[in-house]
Amino acid sequence: MNVPVQLNRLTEDYQKSDAAHHIHAFVDQKALNAEGPRVMVRGEGLYLWDSEGKRYLDGMSGLWCTQLGYGRRDLTAAAASQMDQLAYYNMFFHTTHPAVIELSELLFSLLPGHYSHVIYTNSGSEANEVLIRTVRRYWQVVGQPQKKIMIGRWNGYHGSTLAASALGGMKFMHEMGGLIPDVAHIDEPYWYVHGGELTPAEFGRRCALQLEEKILELGAENVAGFIAEPFQGAGGMIFPPESYWPEIQRICRQYDVLLCADEVIGGFGRTGEWFAHQHFGFEPDTLSIAKGLTSGYLPMGGLVLSKRIADALVEHGGVFAHGLTYSGHPVAAAVALANLKALRDEGIVRQVKDDTGPYLQKILHEVFGNHPMIGEIQGTGLLAALQFAEDKSTRKRFDNENDLAWQCRTFGFEEGVIIRSTLGRMIMAPALVATRTELDELVEKTRIAVDRTARIAGKL
Ligand code: PXG
């Protein structure tokens, strides 16, 4: 299937024009302009090709989103057919359309039974913006309008718009004008870095108890909800210790604080369960979704509500003054529907749980279990992080771990594999359709990149 793309422009020409007009995400634009971005031109399955014809195995599913991989003709056909039939209509004038109705039916057939309604958005950031307003509106409707404060976590990520970045705990984003009132944060449950002498179980409980302390400090009567990713994604693919989520759930229930799971990365099969909270065994009141909902083929997100919240809003709330031009966009909905059908009918989520997920975790442990550079391997399903360590016995990290991880990522690109770096962790989250052979290639190329990094760090 290696069909070359006919390009009528040179890479340098694209780069020059890009530099002239485009501000990229999370980058020093001047430095990027000097370097010139890679120009990606084609995708098929797990593979991408750049404008120079170089092929990459995409170990990150784009940005954790292409569950079905690239080039799925059933998704493009669903989009084309919906565009021909009804390219756009909205949810404002007492109207709806079949694509969004059928998508919701399928979505709730995949979700646990205590969820009943969804508000569609175009992205994960928007889902979390909508979350804040919906949660506050819920508390108004049930007669506790003073419950407004949202608690998030340091190093959590909930998006890049104003309120979503405030909910998140990326301090460097807050410093760039990203704060709003009535938001508080507690520490992240990252045992490898912050656990000190505590066992993971003790540390997990300690982190969870911070939520109780914060609620008591702010007054439970003022706290609307706690938002967290079931595992931190952008923050470094960090799994909390097993003691964490049961304790968080107990605290939220005890103080009547809504438990809001950000499933933007964890949702749609990534862990081998349909949703990551099912893997970790807790029951959130709301779910923020996006990314894998459409396999990234079109932008779409949403906020899923439990029956308790939806009943209050629908039965007692009257008008909820909220709406987006593109909520439930018919073409995005048609693609999401085709995507979820494929994930279900081709048994892909089950395959991640029973076969490819355990296989990836097994080969990672075989290859990196005794690696001199890797202090911890975390993961489940098609999701994994490798933690760099200078001294594995004391969990001491390299002073320049960020540079090393970035270097490792660059070596990966040279070797033809895309993996992601965050601080001292290398992350992989390949498409859920990955075969064992592709996972072998992912891990082997990652090993070469890590070994090259280990040589620079004096570990090999
Ligand atoms: N919540 C979570 C948990 C996310 O990971 C968002 C919300 C925001 O979604 P949108 O669709 O507005 O981008 C995200 C996004 C990375 C990376 O490098 C991760 C995300 C976005 C960009 C980069 O890991 N996640």
Instruction: State the pairing for strand pair 47-50/115-121.
Output: unpaired
Contact by Cβ (8 Å): 259, 282 = yes
**Which whole number is the average pLDDT over 14-21?**
96
pLDDT digits (tens, 9 = 90+) for 148-198: 999 999 999 999 999 999 999 999 999 998 799 999 999 999 999 999 999
Give the separation between CA 138 and CA 109, rounded to whole angstroms.
24
Atom of ligand 1 nearest to the CA of 60: 24
Alpha helices in 219-345 (DSSP H): 244-254, 276-280, 307-311, 330-345
Q: How many angstroms is it from 312 CA to the middle of ligand 1?
A: 30
Fold of the domain built from segment(s) 11-71+347-456: Aspartate Aminotransferase, domain 1 (3.90.1150)
Whether 356 has a pLDDT exceeding 60, the answer reads yes
Place of tokens 């080969």: 363
DSSP state letters, 217-276 = HH-GGGEEEEEE-SSBSTTT-BPPPTTHHHHHHHHHHHTT-EEEEE-TTTTTTTTSSSSH
pLDDT recorded at residue 5: 77
**Tokens coding 149:** 């404060």
pLDDT recorded at residue 63: 98
Contact by Cβ (8 Å): 265, 291 = yes
Alpha helices in 304-435 (DSSP H): 307-311, 330-345, 348-351, 357-368, 401-415
Judged by DSSP in three states, 234 sits in coil
Instruction: Return phi, psi of residue 12, to 5°.
Output: -60, -35
CB neighbourhood size of 179 (10 A): 13
First to last CA, the chain: 38
Whether 2 has a pLDDT exceeding 70, the answer reads no
Give the separation between CA 328 and CA 346, rounded to whole angstroms.
25
pLDDT recorded at residue 176: 93
CATH 3.40.640.10 domain range(s) in the chain: 74-345
- The DSSP call for residue 3 is P
Judged by DSSP in three states, 224 sits in strand
Instruction: Write the residue with the smallest CA distance to atom 24 of ligand 1.
Output: 234
* Ligand 1 within 6 A of CB of 125: yes
Judged by DSSP in three states, 229 sits in coil
* Ligand 1 within 6 A of CB of 293: no
Q: Which residues pair with 120 in a beta bridge?
A: 302
Atom of ligand 1 nearest to the CA of 427: 24
CATH 3.90.1150.10 domain range(s) in the chain: 11-71+347-456
Instruction: Write the residue with the smallest CA distance to atom 5 of ligand 1.
Output: 265
Q: Which residues pair with 286 in a beta bridge?
A: 260, 305
- Which residues, including other chains, have CB under 8 Å from residue 224's CB and lie 6 or more apart? 135, 136, 138, 139, 147, 148, 149, 150, 257, 258
- For 366, counting Cβ atoms within 10 Å of its Cβ (0-12 exposed, 13-18 middle, 19+ buried), the class is exposed
Instruction: State the pairing for strand pair 40-44/47-50.
Output: antiparallel
**Which whole number is the average pLDDT over 336-360?**
98
Give the separation between CA 348 and CA 352, rounded to whole angstroms.
6
Q: How many angstroms is it from 422 CA to the middle of ligand 1?
A: 13
CB neighbourhood size of 416 (10 A): 16
H or E stretch at 442: helix 436-456
C-alpha closest to that of 264 among 301, 295, 227, 298: 301
Give the separation between CA 210 and CA 187, rounded to whole angstroms.
8
Q: 3.40.190.150, 3.90.1170.50, 3.40.640.10, 3.30.2350.10: which CATH number matches 74-345?
A: 3.40.640.10
Residue 451 — very low, low, confident or very high, per pLDDT cuts 50/70/90? very high
Residue 1 — very low, low, confident or very high, per pLDDT cuts 50/70/90? very low
Q: How many angstroms is it from 332 CA to the middle of ligand 1?
A: 18
- pTM tops 0.95, yes or no: yes
Share of the chain above pLDDT 70, in %: 99
pLDDT digits (tens, 9 = 90+) for 185-235: 999 999 999 999 999 999 999 999 999 999 999 999 999 999 999 999 999
| CA-only gyration radius of the chain, Å | 22
pLDDT recorded at residue 3: 53
**Which whole number is the average pLDDT over 34-60?**
97
- Site to substitute for ligand 1 among 162, 291, 303, 419, most atoms within 8 A of C-beta: 291
* Ligand 1 within 6 A of CB of 237: no
**Which whole number is the average pLDDT over 432-451?**
98
Give the separation between CA 6 and CA 156, rounded to whole angstroms.
41
* Ligand 1 within 6 A of CB of 58: no
**pLDDT averaged over every residue in the chain:** 97
DSSP state letters, 147-184 = --EEEEETT----SSHHHHHHS--HHHHTTT---SSEE
H or E stretch at 108: helix 98-110
Judged by DSSP in three states, 200 sits in helix
**Which whole number is the average pLDDT over 95-115?**
98
Judged by DSSP in three states, 386 sits in strand
pLDDT digits (tens, 9 = 90+) for 299-319: 999 999 999 999 999 999 999
Contact by Cβ (8 Å): 281, 259 = no
Instruction: State the pairing for strand pair 425-428/384-388.
Output: antiparallel
